[in-house]
Structure 1
């Protein structure tokens, strides 16, 4: 329960910092993965971020409606590819600057040693499910 409460607190912290960008931390995470991949299928993105396709589709829909991403048919008829629009690139750039400010705040709050330890422990927890 402590991990779940901490997760919600961290999400709320990032969402508050990112509020001027109009993105949540979950949206920024998705858009950043799409940006780095340049073009990626929904299945590949779901696998990369360890989320089921149905949830991913539900999370992508508002971003597509907002014009941040475009979802087009993939190379075969069973796939769909996601790309960032120019508006999406601008949104990611603006939100990424705010994310950097949040990172500095977290580092100051936790201290270098605790932050490093936290990252190591989170990686260990993530490895619970391959």
Structure 2
């Protein structure tokens, strides 16, 4: 015996087909899996690659700026940093101009690993770009940036 749903099944199908959040999450998970697999030989995840890349700058970066760039709260960023610090890829230093904040920097080992990871990212990214119908890749990137 089937029950009458409070929301018609057709509405469920409409939401499934039109929900930007659902489609963005599904795409993000699929992309994350692809990049995680590609970076696995270096024992990096796509999130760790992004964090290392965010720290690839001439000066140590304030934690708040890195968190904003990666759309993370500081607690999440702190947790993401721990395995990279254990591997001596990242260092956290006291900010001389503000004792309450930390500055983040790549170590020499972190720079070397990032240099090995970049060609893998470039190759994987080119594969993903080839999957996108032309000329949609630019508008997709622009739309994603606008929403983030």
TM-score by length of 2: 0.79
The answer to whether residue 72 in structure 2 is matched with residue 51 in structure 1 is: yes
Counting matched residue pairs gives 126
Report the RMSD for the aligned CA atoms in angstroms: 1.4
CA-CA distance at 1:30 after TM superposition = 0.8
State which structure, 1 or 2, has the greater radius of gyration over its C-alpha atoms: 2
Distance 1:117 1:47 in 2: 23
1:32-81 per-position Cα deviation (integer Å, ceiling 9, x unaligned): 11112530121221123221100100100110011101111111321111
Q: Which residues in structure 2 correspond to 1:49-88 (within 5 Å)? A: 49-75=70-96, 76-88=98-110
- Equivalence for 1:104: 126
Deviates more, 1:88-97 or 1:40-49: 40-49
- Displaced runs of 4+ in structure 1, greater than 2 A? 47-50
Structure 1 alignment gaps of length 5 or more: none
Alignment of 1:1-130 (within 5 A): 1-36=22-57, 38-75=59-96, 76-126=98-148
Structure 1 residue 119 displacement after superposition: 1.0
Q: What TM-score does the superposition give when structure 1 sets the normalisation length?
A: 0.89
Higher helix share: 1
Q: Distance in 2 between matches of 1:115 and 1:82?
A: 32
Higher RCO structure, 1 or 2 (CA under 8 Å, sep 6+):
1
